[in-house]
């Protein structure tokens, strides 16, 4: 039954109540006059009765959210992502969260999104913005990430009944295939690079090429993650890309060097000198520059190593490609390479990160030939056959040299089997 409380609240307004279309008691804040509040409650209850009896359509749930500020809903979306944003129920990584927030804030500023009502007719505006970004030279992968941020946000709003439908449902996917591929460094290039860089970068590059860890993962390593007994790194689910804990084997020589390097106390000083904005973890294992790809570019120039060749380009992430390639060349099986690269599918390890080298293919070809071409056996067969061929047998094959006669005739068999020659069956 509709009504209002006898006394007003601290704001001076009366609280009203009524029964909604689902039979539940609802409360609302009315006016400063009790009679007006009661009248409002009766009107709401009458409207709910008509909806319940089918005389009026229910008001869409999303309509009451149209005036919600865009920034507030984005913040709610980000907080949800920190809790269980991934499809498998795990939270977003810190990097993914910051990037998602940056993209959504940029969309709000570019399209002047103040409330959720501004998302109406969003599709043509988003398409125009993406076309403009493309004309400015943005890579397809960047465009795909930017579009995914606003598309997933709209999809999440529909799930939470903040929107009636996804305005970007027909946007479609943007092909994020890289325009250029990474290449694996050769052994000579690795040596050239390590000879021209300081020790703190040398140990960083060596660790990257012997573990395949990404820049963010390397930056999260501490001395506690270094396992001196088992010679490896204990990776935590909180900062790995696949959000899974794992153990990454390391060469024993590198483990000793990492332990001595981190114990020297040089890492905090490097961060303080070159990367003050970053709060490095206590007992950080390695120093990773703020822009590792830019730092590597400078080191490549110093070492005289070309960044781009017909095989592909080099960047800091290409060190992971180098690692996977070296793993295969060391004789690892497909499953072993997949485990070391911490991939969910072997196709990702072989097709995306694995590379072939021309010299390696040539070596494999020669090994195959060693199994097939037995020179000694071939020489003996020819010598034996030439000794038994007769003139009468040669008349059957006048156009062929004696060494190419069918084997049955060359060996002087008295009752040879029928043989095929130039599509004809021969009998004697």
| Nearby residues of 95 by Cβ (< 8 Å), 6 or more positions away | 216
The predicted model gives 339-362 an average pLDDT of 89
Q: Determine the Cα–Cα distance for residues 368 and 384; give it in Å rounded to an integer.
A: 27
Query: Model confidence over 60-106: pLDDT tens digits?
Result: 656 778 889 999 999 999 999 999 888 778 888 888 899 999 999 99
Same domain, 26 and 77: no
Do the domain assignments include residue 170? no
Distances (CA, A) of 133 to 139, 142, 245: 9, 9, 38
Domain boundary among 115, 144, 159: 159
Q: Which of 45-59, 253-267, 391-405 tops mean pLDDT?
A: 253-267
Q: Within 10 A of 31 (CB to CB), how many other CB atoms are there?
A: 16
Distance from the Cα of residue 220 to its chain's centroid: 19
Same domain, 277 and 220: yes
The predicted model gives 386-414 an average pLDDT of 47
- What's the pLDDT score for residue 238? 81
SS (H, E, C) 313-328: ECCCCHHHHHHHHHHH
Same domain, 198 and 330: yes
- What's the pLDDT score for residue 408? 47
DSSP state letter for 352: I
Do the domain assignments include residue 109? yes
Q: Determine the Cα–Cα distance for residues 286 and 270; give it in Å rounded to an integer.
A: 10
Higher-confidence position of 134 and 395: 134
Domain holding 338: CATH number?
Answer: 1.10.443.10
Token pair for residue 261?
């390097």
Domain count, the chain: 4
Same domain, 72 and 107: yes
Same domain, 69 and 51: no
Query: Model confidence over 181-213: pLDDT tens digits?
Result: 899 999 999 999 999 999 999 999 999 999 999
Same domain, 151 and 221: no
- What's the pLDDT score for residue 410? 46
The predicted model gives 364-377 an average pLDDT of 76
Do the domain assignments include residue 173? no
- What's the pLDDT score for residue 292? 95
Annotate 241-260 with b (16+ C-beta within 10 A) or e (fewer): eeeeeeebebeeeebebbee
Least confident of 173-177, 249-253, 353-357: 173-177
Do the domain assignments include residue 167? no
Q: What percent of the chain has pLDDT over 70?
A: 86
Do the domain assignments include residue 166? no
pLDDT, averaged across the chain: 85
Least confident of 248-252, 375-379, 382-386: 382-386
Distances (CA, A) of 264 to 54, 62, 216, 259, 286: 77, 59, 22, 9, 11
Residue 309 in this model has a pLDDT that exceeds 80: yes
The predicted model gives 232-236 an average pLDDT of 95
Same domain, 104 and 82: yes
Same domain, 197 and 345: yes
Domain holding 122: CATH number?
Answer: 1.10.150
Same domain, 24 and 92: no
- What's the pLDDT score for residue 133? 93
- What's the pLDDT score for residue 374? 61
Q: Which domain holds residue 23?
A: 3-59
Query: pLDDT band at 371, cuts 50/70/90?
Result: confident
- What's the pLDDT score for residue 382? 46
Same domain, 50 and 110: no
Domain boundary among 360, 377, 395: 360
Element (H, E) at 202: helix 199-211
Residue 110 in this model has a pLDDT that exceeds 90: yes
Residue 357 in this model has a pLDDT that exceeds 90: no
Backbone angles phi, psi at 25, to 5 degrees: -80, 125
Do the domain assignments include residue 255? yes
Do the domain assignments include residue 179? no
Same domain, 191 and 325: yes
pTM of the model: 0.65
Same domain, 150 and 258: no
Do the domain assignments include residue 379? no
């Amino acid at each position: 039954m509709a009504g209002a409380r006898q006394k007003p609240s601290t704001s001076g307004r009366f609280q009203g109540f009524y029964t909604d279309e689902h039979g539940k008691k609802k409360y609302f804040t009315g006016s400063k006059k009790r009679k007006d509040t009661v009248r409002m409650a009766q009107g709401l209850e009458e409207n709910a009765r008509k909806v319940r009896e089918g005389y009026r359509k229910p008001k869409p749930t999303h309509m009451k959210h149209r005036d919600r500020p865009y920034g507030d809903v984005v913040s709610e979306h980000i907080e949800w992502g920190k809790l269980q944003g991934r499809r498998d129920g795990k939270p977003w990584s810190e990097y993914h969260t910051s990037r998602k927030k940056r993209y959504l804030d940029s969309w709000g500023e570019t399209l002047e999104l103040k409330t959720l009502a501004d998302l109406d007719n969003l599709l043509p505006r988003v398409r125009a913005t993406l076309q403009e970004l493309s004309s400015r030279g943005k890579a397809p992968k960047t465009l795909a990430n930017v579009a995914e941020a606003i598309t997933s946000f709209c999809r999440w709003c529909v799930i939470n009944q903040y929107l009636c439908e996804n305005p970007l449902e027909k946007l479609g996917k943007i092909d994020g295939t890289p325009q250029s591929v990474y290449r694996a460094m050769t052994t000579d290039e690795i040596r050239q690079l390590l000879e021209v860089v300081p020790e703190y970068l040398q140990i960083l590059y060596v660790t990257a090429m012997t573990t395949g860890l990404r820049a963010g993962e390397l930056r999260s390593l501490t001395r506690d993650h270094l396992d001196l007994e088992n010679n490896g790194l204990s990776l935590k689910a909180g900062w790995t890309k696949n959000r899974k804990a794992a153990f990454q084997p390391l060469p024993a020589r590198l483990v000793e060097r990492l332990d001595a390097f981190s114990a020297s106390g040089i890492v905090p000083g490097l961060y303080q000198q070159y990367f003050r904005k970053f709060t490095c973890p206590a007992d950080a294992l390695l120093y990773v520059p703020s822009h590792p790809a830019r730092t590597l570019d400078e080191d490549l120039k110093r070492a005289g190593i070309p960044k781009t060749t017909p095989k592909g380009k080099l960047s800091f992430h290409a060190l992971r490609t180098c690692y996977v390639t070296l793993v295969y060349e060391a004789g690892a099986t497909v499953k072993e390479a997949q485990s070391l690269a911490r991939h969910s599918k072997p196709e990702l390890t072989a097709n995306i990160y694995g590379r072939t080298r021309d010299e390696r293919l040539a070596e494999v070809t020669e090994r195959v030939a060693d199994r097939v071409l037995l020179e000694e056996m071939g020489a003996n067969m020819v010598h034996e056959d030439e000794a038994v061929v007769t003139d009468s047998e040669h008349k059957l094959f006048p156009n062929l040299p004696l060494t190419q006669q069918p084997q049955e005739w060359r060996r002087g068999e008295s009752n040879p089997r029928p043989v095929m020659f130039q599509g004809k069956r021969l009998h004697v």
